[in-house]
Structure 1
């Protein structure tokens, strides 16, 4: 097996500037943690073995850095393959002509049937620009041992039960909820779920599409429910000083009892922590609202400026195979996008699958995947300001409304 050349993020720019030899495939892969990187390395080695005329050069870039660097890659000397997010995040670049049209590949490789449920999320203006790789559910990770220690009987299913669980944990000196607010998207999960539970899927998607004012009383109601958690100090202290990576030790060490996060978090938990970890659906707030969920999907794309699109298409076809896609999902704690792939055995992923498959209220992608990028970025900055000083809520919502009117050209 030939050598897999792994480039650091710092060295990636140099590789882009050099001429690309025939049979050399440049991959830029976002990852979170050593486990995810190892999975991709193993699959890329398998691709090279199956395609001995292709040499893969890979830039592994930590996910938050990747998000910042991606626009520059797509508009300059682009890699041949990227991994990215489905939905509006993918459409943002397709709309600007920066991604290759993969509609022919969908027809040729039978993706229309194998990835049927994610075709819409992979499409823009009737054409497909992505190949789905995996998707994951969201819910609350919790420490069973800490729940038992403070006398919480069972997983909370209603908002009142959830608040009571938080009260018991706080009374025993345990932070009920860990959140790494320095990564603003982790805060967006709280907004998504409170909005979906209080206002429902249709309202939520109208808001994501820019059709609802941020000064609407229903939006403020969501923030006021969120404010209850802040005022009662149910979140860890100084959440904006933590990223997702730096906040996880608080959960692992038992200093915090819960985290609202996607199932992808599961594989990185230490075995001792994982045996004490459960996962439950975000509780019902308004029983009259049909429960909707976030079901975020990931994908591979070929940049429009890619130099080696022939081998890039081979790579997408390889990763899209049911056996390979299943192996990827198993390794990163998600669910395979290919409906012919085997489901992973991870108990958290299994619970996530059950949550998504049984939901009756609709499935959204996620806050910054359902909304145009400019509005999502401003919305998440507003959430950070809200966490820092909840008393500024009316001011923050007023600023977001002005931004909405400007971006969507609405009054």
Structure 2
């Protein structure tokens, strides 16, 4: 989330192990000789268990097999990554290999000449990946990034808390969701955990409601016409206000982060709330953020975002994205070979085994062990439509305004009518 895939990724606290790394070191002035000494500066946001050590081990294995190559890793928390990458790209010095969710942000990086066209380089093996996973990284028929993870946003829920509140089945409609929230609250349980401070988690609700009410076409049309001031977008805000009016979130949610010890993921992982709307990485971050470091285990369940009565969209249309890597303009020759190594079947299986990654390599799908992740994968596989996170799909300024506006709506400082005007003003200025 802007990642957001949020971010939409493994998020959490940036630990001391992240290490120091100077922006001035982003560019790579080393020789283009593929056999000469090379340093790959790699920035990623898998900065907590379980993927932090997995990536580190893969880099170490690569260095052992390629003695002329050093992989300098910079793990960063999601928001810190976006801030640091913006500074680096504005200076024209992107890292060699860095986290990307594709979409509008990647398109701007392409237009600025900051990333490499890797179409020819990946042609021999890109066919081993799920086609839908590559779409966000493909611009005008050319490939500029490679996804290692793909998934969707949905509701993760605590089965024991649902049972305690007398709920026998997950809600299938928006009306049922509101009723479920009320029942949970009446049972003395916090219905929903939300990281209000980071904004992007709240944008999931509004985005899904637009999809359910207006269908995918409404979002595509808004992106083309630069106009969000339409009945469907306003209605989505009104429906979200219905939820907010129930005061469903944990105490002090507006100040809560996502991956901090008292944040959204920890609240879920410690059994402090019954639900959260989050991507496929949720169980892993719940576990790493929880006091026990184990999360909810078999107590955790998953259900798709409900349908909205009378809406043009359906519950089989999904919202989400993947995590991938783009290659910086000055990356040394070994970078693409290292990227290929990360996407090898064996390494994708290692990533999938952690439960934190839904692999993009088709032959690695058999390594998905977690029951909930299997549900996510099957739901995604049978989806009738797909929408990338709005804060990634649209140009960065528009995506940021979406996040800011939804935060204002949830906080009660702006109305559904006001936020669509604000988003439209920014969209038309691009």
TM-score, scaled to structure 1: 0.90
Distance 1:163 1:7, change over 3 A: closer
How far does residue 80 in structure 1 lie from its aligned partner after superposition? Answer: 1.9
2:324 pairs with 293, 299, 309, which one?
299
1:11 pairs with 18, 21, 34, which one?
21
- Unaligned runs of 5+ residues in structure 2 are 1-15, 31-35, 288-292
How far does residue 377 in structure 1 lie from its aligned partner after superposition? Answer: 0.8
1:87 matched to which residue of 2?
103
Does the 8 A contact of 1:24 with 1:56 survive in 2? yes
Does the 8 A contact of 2:149 with 2:322 survive in 1? yes
Give the whole-Å Cα distance in 2 for the aligned partners of 1:358 and 1:342: 15
Q: How does 1:274-353 map to 2 (within 5 A)?
A: 274-286=297-309, 289-291=313-315, 292-306=317-331, 308=332, 310-331=333-354, 333-343=356-366, 344-353=368-377
Q: Are residues 1:198 and 2:198 paired? A: no
2:235 matched to which residue of 1?
221
Does the 8 A contact of 2:193 with 2:268 survive in 1? yes
How far does residue 214 in structure 1 lie from its aligned partner after superposition? Answer: 2.5
Distance 1:400 1:154, change over 3 A: same
How far does residue 365 in structure 1 lie from its aligned partner after superposition? Answer: 1.4
Q: Are residues 1:235 and 2:249 paired? A: yes
Does the 8 A contact of 1:142 with 1:258 survive in 2? yes
2:9 matched to which residue of 1?
none
1:121 matched to which residue of 2?
136
How far does residue 402 in structure 1 lie from its aligned partner after superposition? Answer: 2.1
2:393 matched to which residue of 1?
370
Q: Flag as ranges the 4+ runs of structure 1 deviating above 6 A.
A: none
1:161 pairs with 176, 182, 185, which one?
176
1:99 matched to which residue of 2?
115
1:299 alignment partner, SS class = strand
1:174 alignment partner, SS class = coil
- Unaligned runs of 5+ residues in structure 1 are 1-5
- Name the structure where helix makes up a greater proportion of residues: 1
* Range moving further from structure 2, 394-403 or 40-49: 394-403
1:119 alignment partner, SS class = helix
Give the whole-Å Cα distance in 2 for the aligned partners of 1:182 and 1:216: 27
Give the whole-Å Cα distance in 2 for the aligned partners of 1:65 and 1:158: 36
1:3 matched to which residue of 2?
none
1:27 pairs with 36, 42, 65, which one?
42
**What is the number of residues matched between the two proteins?**
397
